[in-house]
Amino acid sequence: MVAHAKETDAIVLNCAEHGESDVIVTLFSQDAGRLTAIAKGAKKSKKRFVNKLELFSFLHITYQQKANRSLAFLAEAELHTSFLHIRQDLALYSIASVIREFLLIGVKENEPDLHIFRLSLWALHNFDQKHPPMTILALFLIRFFDYVGYRPDLQACMHCGSLVTAQNRYNFDTTIGSIVCSDCNPHSLKGLPLSLGTIKMLRSAQDQPLERLHRLKISGSILYETLSLLQNYGNQLFQRDIVSWKIVRTFMKTRK
Ligand SMILES: [Zn+2]
């Protein structure tokens, strides 16, 4: 059976050498979700794929895929942008790798998601333009959890239903994905404490159009609380260790 060539935009999430001359690349594609493809001869005769099959590269690809086969054949790749700054800066690279790991876990084959695709490109562009990377990471994750169906509930206490007020204190319970007020959780035994400032920032990050998301500024204790929450919530949701967090935490004291 002849497989017809298809075209789509795609972000490179992983590359692995295969045999003597081939490369297997894992992509987040706009039209097909996660896509694994073999680039024949990419290692030896590099002409066709030179400087293209690199982590985070944004490509336009032509590929063939037989029905019932998960491995596609990569015919051609054109480079939209390589996001070179990300690959030249270790801190930036590690922070972007948290996103890469989440995409590898969260994006499924044959399940395209334009929201997550646009959000990922938004984050990579902002990293590359040297916007504060920890802020970009936080904003990405707030929206990503939303798009995969686990929007954190920050409007009202999950137990008593009372709306957030300045008079009360709140913790975020990662096991239920919601805030709990101090009346219902008097000794703060459950969840991570969230200040009112953090709750407000998170809520506006949830509702901001993507074009305006980069305008949100997050710093100091709000950024710290936000990232702790997102790291814990992510671990809870996916039951997987995101390896890159470890390196990122070492940069957290110096980068915003
Ligand atoms: Zn309550």
Same domain membership, residue 222 and residue 183: yes
Residue 28 lies in domain: 1-82
Instruction: Select from 82, 105, 126 the last residue of a domain.
Output: 82
Same domain membership, residue 103 and residue 208: yes
Distance 156 CA to ligand 1 centre (A): 8
Check if the beta carbon of residue 212 is closer than 8 Å to that of residue 236. Answer: no
Same domain membership, residue 230 and residue 141: yes
pLDDT of residue 37: 97
Q: Residue 70: how many CB atoms within 10 A of its CB?
A: 12
Distance 217 CA to ligand 1 centre (A): 29
The secondary structure of the chain in percent helix, strand, coil, rounded to multiples of 5, reads 40, 25, 40
Check if the beta carbon of residue 95 is closer than 8 Å to that of residue 223. Answer: no
Distance 222 CA to ligand 1 centre (A): 22
Residue 75 amino acid letter: A
The predicted model gives 195-213 an average pLDDT of 95
Same domain membership, residue 239 and residue 170: yes
Distance 238 CA to ligand 1 centre (A): 27
Same domain membership, residue 194 and residue 146: yes
Same domain membership, residue 128 and residue 18: no
The Cα 213–Cα 215 span in angstroms is 5
Residue 19 amino acid letter: G
Distance 227 CA to ligand 1 centre (A): 24
Q: Is the pTM of this model over 0.85?
A: yes
Q: Looking at residue 48, which CATH number applies to its domain?
A: 2.40.50.140
pLDDT band at 256 (very low <50, low <70, confident <90, very high): very low
Same domain membership, residue 75 and residue 125: no
- List the single range of 56-65, 67-76, 123-132 with lowest mean pLDDT: 67-76
The predicted model gives 201-218 an average pLDDT of 94
Distance 203 CA to ligand 1 centre (A): 18
Q: In degrees rounded to 5, what are phi and psi of residue 220?
A: 55, -135
Check if the beta carbon of residue 112 is closer than 8 Å to that of residue 10. Answer: no
Check if the beta carbon of residue 116 is closer than 8 Å to that of residue 106. Answer: yes
Distance 197 CA to ligand 1 centre (A): 19
Distance 154 CA to ligand 1 centre (A): 12
Which long-range contacts link 16-21 to residues 24+ away (Cβ below 8 Å)? 17/43, 20/44, 21/45
Distance 191 CA to ligand 1 centre (A): 13
Same domain membership, residue 130 and residue 247: yes
Domain count, the chain: 2
Distance 74 CA to ligand 1 centre (A): 54
Same domain membership, residue 93 and residue 76: no
Distance 199 CA to ligand 1 centre (A): 15
pLDDT of residue 24: 96
Distance 94 CA to ligand 1 centre (A): 38
23 pLDDT above the threshold of 80 = yes
Distance 168 CA to ligand 1 centre (A): 9
Output the six-digit token pair for 56.
Answer: 């985070």
pLDDT of residue 170: 96
Q: Is 165 exposed, middle or buried (0-12, 13-18, 19+ CB in 10 A)?
A: exposed
Residue 112 region by backbone torsions, left for phi larger than 0, else alpha for psi between -120 and 50, else beta? beta
- Strand blocks (E) in 58-169: 58-64, 71-81
Same domain membership, residue 121 and residue 235: yes
Query: How many residues are present in the chain?
Result: 256
Residue 83 region by backbone torsions, left for phi larger than 0, else alpha for psi between -120 and 50, else beta? left
The Cα 193–Cα 185 span in angstroms is 11
Distance 223 CA to ligand 1 centre (A): 25
Instruction: Select from 39, 61, 82 the last residue of a domain.
Output: 82
pLDDT of residue 120: 98
Distance 178 CA to ligand 1 centre (A): 11
Same domain membership, residue 118 and residue 182: yes
Same domain membership, residue 139 and residue 17: no
**pLDDT 10s digits, 78-111:** 999 999 999 999 999 999 999 999 999 999 999 9
Instruction: Select from 65, 82, 99 the last residue of a domain.
Output: 82
Q: Looking at residue 196, which CATH number applies to its domain?
A: 1.20.1440.120
